[in-house]
A and B are shown apart, each in its own frame.
Chain A
Amino acid sequence: MANVALIIGGIAILSAGTWLMRFGGAKLGNKLALSERSQALLADAATTLLFAVALAATLYEGEHFAGMARVLGVTFALFLAWRKLPLIVVIIAAAVVTALLRLAGVQ
């Protein structure tokens, strides 16, 4: 494995860079005088990113299909959310359905 100094350097770069992106984004947002239309566009940007992250996390494990158990568990949870059930029910249902499907042999 790599030497300690390089690992410390890597951790420093990753943590400083990640924080700078978070902080820089927020400062950038404050600097720009945003019209109502660009504000709506930004809100949609966040929604689009989160939606893409969520679907990728549903369907993929690395570069491969995550398996039907997770997909069905998330789909069922989404159905409950659409029916306006409380969020805790949605969360617990996602975990329980996925775990039970795996227990039943679905991968």
Chain B
Amino acid sequence: MFRHHFSSLKSDTIKAIFLVCLAVGVVGVSYGSLAMAYGFPLWVPLSLSVLVLAGASEFMFIGIVASGGNPLAAAVAGLLVNARHLPFGVTVRELVGTGAASFFGCHIMNDESVVFGLSQPTAPQRKAAYWLCGMGVALLWPLGVLLGAGIGKLLPAPETIGLDAVFPAILLALVLPALKKKTTLIRASSGAALSLAAVPFAPVGLPVLIALLGLLTRKK
């Protein structure tokens, strides 16, 4: 059934999803390696990568705990980083599946699966892209952590091979067509401008939510 769905995707889209998942895996390697360097046992980054499956909040969690912070406070900070998944959920509600499938379909919701899903032209393609990217990330993120915990020190840092540029680049490339609509462009630009201005002052996670204020700029 899945094979049938995924075959509806353009081959460039499938290749792009594959590359993005691979990049996620490499960042997972550095995450696993960093967690080991902080002195965590393997089960901490591994269970986070499987159960939370939201990279930025996991980096934040282990960073706060490693620097002596309370893990419960670190969890709350991580939840703030992940709060954008609530509006994401509303938007991709038709892509996550129904019934029991939606329990897992929601779990694989992240920036990449949402953007690949929303950027497809037809409903079957939207669903296929969301699931392919989501499952790829769900698989490669923990695999990267495992690899990083083992041999992380032997591999180059993601920054050395420019991977830190891959994620913003793919997000921008995929939202670009939606910005052709003037209303969307004005809302998104003013939202992003507010958000960027808030980054140095507001706690991590909040600036992204501030972007939603941009929706107020145009009523229609």
A residues adjacent to B (C-beta < 8 A): 1-2, 6-7, 9-11, 13-15, 17-19, 21-30, 32, 37, 40-61, 63, 66, 69-70, 73-74, 77-78, 81-82, 86-88, 90-100, 102
13 cross-chain CB contacts under 8 A: A1-B66, A11-B47, A26-B109, A45-B215, A47-B188, A50-B175, A52-B188, A66-B164, A70-B162, A81-B169, A93-B169, A94-B166, A95-B23
**Does the CB pair A94–B169 fall under 8 Å?**
yes
**Does the CB pair B75–A25 fall under 8 Å?**
no
**Does the CB pair B195–A42 fall under 8 Å?**
no
CB distance from B197 to the nearest CB of A (A): 11
**Does the CB pair B162–A73 fall under 8 Å?**
yes
Give the interface size class of chain B. Answer: 35 or more
**Does the CB pair B91–A45 fall under 8 Å?**
yes
User: Binding site of A, secondary structure by majority: helix, strand, loop or mixed?
Assistant: helix
With contact pairs A6-B70, A22-B106, A73-B165 given, residues A46 and B61 touching in the complex (Cβ less than 8 Å): no
Choose from A2, A23, A40, A90 the contact partner of B173 (Cβ within 8 Å).
A90
